Structure 1
Amino acid sequence: MLEKSRFDKFMRASRWLRWAQFVIALVIFCYAALSPSPQLIGQHSDTSMHFVGNILLMLSAWLALWGRLSIIKVVLCLLPFSLGIELAQYFSPGRMVDVKDMFMNTAGLGVGALLALFAQVGVKRILR
């Protein structure tokens, strides 16, 4: 078992690293969403990329904001950002706004929130 005080020290010491990974995730997310005609790796559909991208965005934000905001508040902060990025695709050549993509963005954030919740519960059980 991990001691709670050691875990708290680790989380304080790793705060800059957790924020750095979130900033990098935001840059990658924005680039992938707004670049004209993105080059997809392999044969992944645009829909699956929206879904997986938003799961990763949610987990990245949750990790960066660990202990500062509840999971639901992280989702409420990311939802307008995610939908706004989709709307901004209107201004990007070769891209279009798609309601199906907005749904997948929202579903990805929801699944990411569930994964974050399971991880958070697991960590709390380990620290007991």
Structure 2
Amino acid sequence: MLEITYWELLIVISIVWVIMRVLIGIKNKKIFFFREAQMMMVYICIIVIARIVNFPWHHVNGQIGTMKFDASRIIPPWVNLVPIVHLFDIYDGWQMNIIGNITMFIPVGIVWPVCFKKLNTIGKAILAGAGFSLFIEISQLLFYERCSDIDDILLNTAGVAVGALIFFGCKKLRARKRE
């Protein structure tokens, strides 16, 4: 069994991030400070979401719990493909699950259109956020204590939609003010 701590995952994400940003800087033959500051917002979204979705909230011996990988325990995967069936199951924290999954992705709907010019419509921003959420749910299949759930994708996408509506609404208001 392999256990991965949040700090180990953070280091891996950070190393990959720095390598990508350096390669992009080399390709562009220049590093733009303002662009890197914008992209830092994307990085922060990724590491915060990685913490929230991959590690237990409760601490173990005063530490953030670990992700556990054991190839012999990932089959059969723990997956819910039926939307909404378990969404309102009464268990401790079900409301926090709904609210948390939505609010956690609101920044993605705001930050990604700022940083990625091709996400120039609400639909494109929502689709990109849904893809990110799908990636997270698929990656959770490797860790036997995690559950991949269609409801999480739906709620996360709703959060991206709220963020995108805020971003594009503010953008539209700003354009009207200029006129």
Q: Same fold (TM over 0.5)?
A: yes
The structural deviation recorded for 1:68 is 4.5
Tell me which residue corresponds to 2:119.
69
Asked if the contact 1:55/1:109 (under 8 Å) is kept, the reply is yes
Q: CA RMSD in A?
A: 2.5
Q: Which has the larger radius of gyration?
A: 2
> Which structure 2 residues correspond to residues 17-28 of structure 1 after superposition, within 5 A?
17-28=37-48
Q: Deviations over 1:58-79 (max 9, x none)?
A: 11212223x5531332322222
Q: 2:34 aligns with which of 14, 23, 46?
A: 14
TM-score (norm 1): 0.71
> Which structure 2 residues correspond to residues 1-128 of structure 1 after superposition, within 5 A?
14-35=34-55, 37-39=56-58, 45-65=96-116, 67-71=117-121, 72-128=123-179
Q: Structure 2: how far apart are the matches of 1:89 and 1:77?
A: 19
Q: Deviations over 1:1-31 (max 9, x none)?
A: xxxxxxxxxxx97333211111121121123
**Which structure carries more relative contact order (alpha carbon 8 Å, separation 6+)?**
1
Provide structure 2 residue ranges, at least 5 long, that are not aligned to the other structure: 1-31, 59-92
Return closer, same or farther for 1:48/1:17 CA change in 2, 3 Å cut-off.
Answer: same
| Identity rate, percent | 21
Return closer, same or farther for 1:51/1:16 CA change in 2, 3 Å cut-off.
Answer: same
Residues paired across the two proteins, number:
113
3-state DSSP class of the match of 1:69?
coil
Asked if the contact 1:22/1:60 (under 8 Å) is kept, the reply is yes
Structure number having the greater helix percentage: 1
Q: Which moved more, 1:46-55 or 1:72-81?
A: 72-81
